[in-house]
Amino acid sequence: MKRRTFIASAGAGTAAAMLAAPAIAQTAPETPAPAEPATPAPAATTPSAPAIVESSPAIQWRCASSFPKSLDTIYGGAEVVAKYVSEMTDGKFQIRVFAGNEIVPALQVLDAVQNNTIQCGHSVSYYYVGKDPTFGFDASMPFGLNARQQMAWMGHGGGLELMREFFAGYNIVQFPAGNTGTQMGGWFRKEIKSVEDLNGLKFRIGGYAGTVMAKLGTVPQQIAGGDIYPSLEKGTIDAAEWVGPYDDEKLGFYKVAKYYYYPGWWEGGPQISFLTNKDEYEKLPKHYKAILAAACAYANTDMLAKYDVVNMNALKSLVANGTILKPYPRDVLQACFKASFEVYEAEAAKNEKFRKVYDAWRKFRDEEYLWFRVAENTFDNFVYSTPAPKRGG
């Protein structure tokens, strides 16, 4: 039911009730009452819903995504935001979404929003750790938080406040607006049997994980999603990670690399953010700001739910096409874990902004892990390792 139809119907019902009131009053016995001076009705101070909509300004924003349109789940997060913002404002607030490289280079979305070349963008903040590693906490850090934990830290653990303070230095207000869940660990032309196999490997890897891998001799490459396949096909890179089965199958990586490793230890629950230019955001009416926040919150959970559905079938399809699934050897994970926290401590010692967020993030991480070990981990370990009995058996 349309908002105006609903309000009109409600108004008609109220009017009918008012017209019926005198007839009801006539059936009741008359009771004399002392005369009182008439009191004028208070003036209306709050406009009705139609008045708010009618008086709202028409606003058009352009949004640059860091992702190609072919990746409907991750690119689609920005379209979800735009759709609900439009619907909740009766089309008064329009956000037009552009794919990566259409109007802004895929890995330069933050710069374009900061400079107000565009009003907003949809990107992963760890793309910008070259500016400051602190950006990584807005997305995902190696051996950090899973999707639920990232949402908890942002929503109620102080993470959003810390990151908003940091982003203010770039003239940006950001909103969590998507999550992929734990990602896969990448596609390789050859097996990774030991830490030594990482030495000299040219690996397309995003975020702060590249710094960690470099510590182990890997040569990290930051390449936008749409450019990974040709680089892997031509041998410009030896391995590449992206997201997970659904997106990776669409990009065709299984055709040029057969070993598919897991888990993506650098992306336990990477958040995708909706970045808004601070000056443009502050111009929005208060209710537009609330609507934008609500649309981003919906996109945040919707993306994760969709990935959890589409990845399961995509993984089966990849294996059917010859993909070889391999877990990272434990000694490789242990070496990467050790290197990660060495990198964190070194950065915290020289970067005050990083240290402020890292100290709070690390405390939250450690305490949240204690809780997840009790119920979540125990439940998961049991049910995933115990086959359910056959129905009727």
Q: The CATH number of the domain where 350 resides is what?
A: 3.40.190.10
- Specify whether 101 is located in the same domain as 132: yes
Computed over every residue of the chain, the mean pLDDT equals 89
- Specify whether 246 is located in the same domain as 275: no
Task: Look at residue 19 and tell me whether its pLDDT is greater than 90.
Answer: no
- Specify whether 119 is located in the same domain as 264: no
Cα–Cα distance measured from residue 137 to residue 130, given in angstroms and rounded to the nearest whole number: 13
Pair 326, 263: CB distance under 8 Å: no
- Specify whether 139 is located in the same domain as 87: yes
pLDDT band, residue 271 (cuts 50/70/90):
very high
Read off the pLDDT of residues 74-105 as tens digits, 9 standing for 90 and up: 999 999 999 999 999 999 999 999 999 999 99
Q: Which DSSP symbol is given to 324?
A: E
Domain with residue 78: its CATH number is 3.40.190.170
197 closest CA partner among 216, 182, 212: 216
Read off the pLDDT of residues 218-239 as tens digits, 9 standing for 90 and up: 999 988 888 999 999 999 999 9
In a domain, 91, yes or no: yes
- Specify whether 170 is located in the same domain as 201: no
Pair 339, 215: CB distance under 8 Å: yes
Task: Give the list of residues 6+ apart from residue 324 with CB closer than 8 angstroms, or none.
Answer: 258, 259, 260
In a domain, 248, yes or no: yes
pLDDT band, residue 50 (cuts 50/70/90):
low
Helix (H) / strand (E) containing 276: strand 271-277
pLDDT band, residue 11 (cuts 50/70/90):
very low
In a domain, 302, yes or no: yes
Position 392 scores a pLDDT of 76
- Specify whether 263 is located in the same domain as 277: no
In a domain, 20, yes or no: no
User: At which of 280, 308, 336 does a domain end?
Assistant: 308
In a domain, 40, yes or no: no
In a domain, 33, yes or no: no
Task: Look at residue 21 and tell me whether its pLDDT is greater than 80.
Answer: no
Q: In this structure, is the dihedral angle defined by the CA atoms of residues 354, 356, 361 and 367, taken in order, positive or negative?
A: positive
Pair 295, 84: CB distance under 8 Å: yes
Q: What angle do CA 311, 316, 319 make, to 5 degrees?
A: 120
- Specify whether 167 is located in the same domain as 295: yes
Read off the pLDDT of residues 334-378 as tens digits, 9 standing for 90 and up: 999 999 999 999 999 999 999 999 999 999 999 999 999 999 999
Output the CA–CA distances (angstroms, integers) from residue 343 to 128, 149, 268, 306, 340, in the order listed: 17, 22, 18, 34, 5
pLDDT band, residue 183 (cuts 50/70/90):
very high
Q: pTM, whole model, 2 decimals?
A: 0.85
244 closest CA partner among 189, 191, 323: 323
Position 225 scores a pLDDT of 84
Task: Give the list of residues 6+ apart from residue 366 with CB closer than 8 angstroms, or none.
Answer: none
User: How far is the first Cα of the chain from the last one, in angstroms, to the nearest whole number?
Assistant: 48
135 closest CA partner among 106, 169, 105: 169
- Specify whether 302 is located in the same domain as 194: no
In a domain, 39, yes or no: no
- Specify whether 228 is located in the same domain as 302: no
Domain that holds residue 125: 56-181+270-308
- Specify whether 215 is located in the same domain as 352: yes
| Number of domains making up the chain | 2
Position 30 scores a pLDDT of 44
Share of the chain above pLDDT 90, in %: 82
- Specify whether 127 is located in the same domain as 192: no
94 closest CA partner among 56, 124, 68: 56
- Specify whether 75 is located in the same domain as 85: yes
Which is more confident, 206 or 301? 301
Q: Which DSSP symbol is given to 169?
A: T
Task: Give the list of residues 6+ apart from residue 260 with CB closer than 8 angstroms, or none.
Answer: 184, 185, 186, 187, 188, 248, 254, 318, 323, 324, 325, 326
In a domain, 96, yes or no: yes
Locus of tokens 């999550």: 179
Within a 10 A sphere around the Cβ of 132, how many other Cβ atoms? 15
